Chains A and B, each alone.
Chain A
Amino acid sequence: EVQLVESGGGLVQPGGSLRLSCAASGFTFKFYGMSWVRQAPGKGLEWVAVISGGVGTEYYADSVKGRLTISRDNSQNTVFLEMNSLRVEDTATYYCAKHVGNSVVSTPDLWGQGTLVTVSS
């Protein structure tokens, strides 16, 4: 079964750090682009970052550039989101998504179940 399982969410203070993981199974992970998308409580979907398959080219939303970093470990079939200098407005459910191809431009075709990050003092 093709599946994505996120983990690592939780409560963190403003200025703190957190590392999210997304474990993939059921497909040859290294060949596919992966994204992180977030959803603040009661709000719409906001794309955060994407990493290509293969060499791992990265792109970020302006709102997170310089604070959040996407990476992947193809040996572990896992994509990560390193979150630093967290702000209250980063509070959201974070979803990972698989793309249909290697390229960051290829469309997402599978979502995980999400992990909740709460930034609060």
Chain B
Amino acid sequence: QSVLTQPPAASGTPGQTVTISCSGSSSNIGSNTLNWHQQLPGAAPKVLIYNNNQRPSGVPDRFSGSKSGSSASLAISGLQSEDEGDYYCASWDDSLTGWVFGGGTRLTVV
């Protein structure tokens, strides 16, 4: 049971916009920044979004993050087949004094 809650799966067709949610509490998302990590099949994770809505250099602007209260979401527009993989949200938790991850969302492009 992960501290941050994500849907286990999401899907979309090429060109569509898909949104993945991440729900937490006042001790994590509600008081700290949220980041999103992408893990493509067989690869190491990669940071997609940090500090709620900032993209590292090289990450396309098709990926965007937002946060409101104790929840956050990742939007992927112009969906492409190479976007298939697992997506994780993460945040620092003040009560646990540690980092917490969501359980991950497997994105399928049909």
Contact = CB atoms under 8 A, between A and B. Distances in A.
Nearest to A50: B99
A31 interface: no
A44 B8 CA distance: 11
B97 interface: yes
B24 to A, nearest CB: 14
A100 interface: yes
B100 interface: yes
Contact of B50 (A37, A108, A114): A108
Contacts of B45: 37, 45, 95, 111
A94 B90 CA distance: 17
| Chain A interface extent, by class | 20 to 34
- Centre residue among A37, A44, A47, A104 by max chain B CB count within 10 A: A44
Interface residues of B, number: 25
- Centre residue among A45, A50, A105, A109 by max chain B CB count within 10 A: A45
B56 to A, nearest CB: 6
B35 A95 contact: no
Nearest to B49: A107
Interface in B70-110: 86, 88, 90, 92, 97-104
B33 A45 contact: no
B51 interface: yes
A35 interface: yes
A50 B52 CA distance: 20
Contacts of B46: 111
Contact of B101 (A47, A50, A100, A111): A47
Interface of A: 35, 37, 44-47, 50, 59-61, 95, 100, 104-105, 107-114
